[in-house]
Amino acid sequence: MKRITRFRYQVARAETVTIRVTPVGTGARVTASDNGESLENAGPDGEPTFVIEIDQVAGNSHFVLVECSFLDSDPASAEFDFEIRGSKGGVFKDVVVRKTNQIWDPTFRFTVTPGETR
């Protein structure tokens, strides 16, 4: 997996992408969907983890929407830290959703690179 921006990645067909979300100062209120289909939380309690099997053809993309929820009672410093990992390489840990952000539901785009099967 190769990162283009914090929210856009190039991936190989048949690669597995794992998105792990760590709540800090808040509960694990996180859901995700891949191209509109709900993803099951595959992580342990308190650490939502979503697995995306890249099955699109070259040039097509998986659009993964991750929705984070904060309670009014959560401190202003509450946040969700993301780790995005490709099974064929690439680990990125600099996406953070803070309670003070205007957007709590980042969308990640994983585009299949033509000819990539590594």
Residue by residue, pLDDT tens for the chain (118 residues) are 999 999 999 999 999 999 999 999 999 999 999 999 999 999 998 999 999 999 999 999 999 999 999 999 999 999 999 999 999 999 999 999 999 998 899 999 999 998 754 4
Q: Are 71 and 27 in contact (CB under 8 A)?
A: yes
Give the span between the Cα atoms of 33 and 50, in whole angstroms: 9
pLDDT, residue 116, reads: 53
Q: Which two tokens stand for residue 34?
A: 């891949």
CB neighbour class for 97 (10 Å; exposed up to 12, middle 13-18, buried from 19): buried
Tokens, residue 46: 């308190």
Map out the domains of the chain as residue ranges: 2-112
